[in-house]
């Protein structure tokens, strides 16, 4: 989008194929949805709202439409993909067997476990002695809620000898709805602790989790990455990649900020080390800063010019 490729038939077909792959992966792992958000957020970077507003103010819908759809067509392809994905997800599973069930990962359960695990005060109030980040936190919360109300959920609860028990796997959709209610009641009751969980607990737990992964402490792996990154940057600079222009720097900064925000989506739901795509994104960013930018600077300095026509992508 930032490169402002034209919407030629080839480009649209290629973007369509990429969108298909993207949604196939989202269908396999809903965590990948942050990448869809990142693409849609790109609209904010390329749209010139002032121009559109002026065109609309002069009652010229055609130029306004051109200004909206011209640069954002890749996002539109993704929106079409999203519509197709939603339609397929709701129709493809056999409705006789999947009707009452959650067809994807439980969402509120994960959000609840993430909320309670990342704030010590919430853990002591609602953790019921369970291990932080364990699924049991959600199950036990629903069990306590059901017993507190003296009401076994009809979809997944049962009463044996006067004691209420639950089996979430019987109907994960109904289970997730109960967790949603409990989650919202916790948020309403403890707004400050919720904020603290989101802005302090989750980011710090994420960092803590990363430090415990052996693969991320392997210095040799980083050396490999750095050497390969250096080689790639040399090739790119020799191929004519110069320093970005001021406008490109501004747009890239906004795009990178949006990407970074979107990449935090998973962490803000529940901190996890199972986010290799986010790790790759940060590695790419680090390589840009440590290898490409210094090389491009040196190259420009050696040539005695910052090359106003220097070709860059973002």
Partner 1 sequence: MTDEEREPFGTSENCRLASPRVEASPRLDVLLRSYVRSFVLAAAILVLFALSVVRTYSLGHNEKFYDNPIYRWRESLAIALSRMQNPPLQGYLADRSIRDYLARHGLALLAGEADVLPTPEQRRALVQDGARMNQLLQEAARVPIDPKLEPVTLTGNELGLADYFYWAFRIYGLNLNALVLFYYSILLVSVTLFFITFRRSPFCLLLLMFYLIGHFFAVNYANNPLIQTIHNSRFLLLSPCCRQCTSYC
Query: Residue 163 or residue 215: which is nearer to partner 1 going by CB?
Result: 215
Residues shown for the chain: 314
Query: Residue 185 or residue 305: which is nearer to partner 1 going by CB?
Result: 305
Query: Residue 35 or residue 146: which is nearer to partner 1 going by CB?
Result: 35
Name the E strands within the chain. 157-160, 163-166
Query: Residue 201 or residue 229: which is nearer to partner 1 going by CB?
Result: 229
Q: Which residues contact 221 (CB under 8 A, 6 or more apart)?
A: 215
Determine the Cα–Cα distance for residues 87 and 93; give it in Å rounded to an integer.
11
CA angle 62/68/69 to nearest 5° reads 90
Q: CB–CB of 98/257 below 8 Å? A: no
Query: Residue 125 or residue 272: which is nearer to partner 1 going by CB?
Result: 272
Which whole-number Å values give the CA distances from 143 to 11, 148, 161, in the listed order? 53, 8, 16
């Amino acid at each position: 989008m930032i490169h402002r490729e034209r919407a030629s038939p080839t480009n649209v077909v290629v973007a369509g194929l990429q969108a298909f792959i993207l949604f196939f992966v989202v269908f396999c792992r809903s965590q990948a949805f942050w990448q869809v958000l990142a693409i849609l957020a790109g609209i904010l970077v390329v749209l010139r709202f002032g121009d559109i507003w002026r065109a609309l103010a002069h009652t010229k819908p055609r130029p306004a439409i051109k200004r909206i759809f011209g640069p954002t067509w890749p996002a539109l392809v993704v929106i079409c993909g999203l519509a197709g994905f939603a339609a397929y997800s709701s129709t493809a599973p056999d409705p006789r067997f999947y009707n009452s069930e959650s067809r994807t990962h439980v969402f509120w359960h994960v959000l609840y476990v993430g909320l309670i695990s990342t704030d010590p005060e919430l853990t002591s109030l609602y953790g019921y002695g369970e291990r932080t980040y364990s699924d049991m936190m959600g199950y036990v919360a629903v069990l306590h809620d059901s017993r507190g109300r003296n009401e076994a959920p009809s979809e997944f609860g049962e009463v044996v000898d006067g004691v209420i028990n639950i089996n979430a796997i019987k109907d994960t959709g109904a289970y997730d709805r109960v967790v949603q209610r409990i989650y919202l009641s916790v948020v309403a009751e403890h707004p400050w602790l919720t904020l603290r969980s989101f802005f302090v607990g989750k980011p710090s737990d994420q960092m803590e989790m990363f430090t415990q992964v052996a693969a991320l402490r392997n210095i040799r792996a980083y050396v490999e990455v750095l050497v390969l990154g250096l080689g790639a940057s040399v090739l790119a600079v020799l191929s004519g990649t110069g320093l970005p222009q001021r406008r490109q720097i501004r747009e890239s900064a906004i795009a990178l900020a949006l990407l970074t925000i979107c990449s935090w989506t998973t962490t803000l739901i529940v901190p996890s080390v199972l986010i290799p795509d986010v790790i790759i994104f940060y590695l790419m960013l680090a390589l840009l800063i440590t290898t490409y930018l210094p090389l491009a600077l040196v190259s420009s300095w050696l040539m005695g010019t910052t090359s106003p026509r220097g070709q860059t992508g973002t």
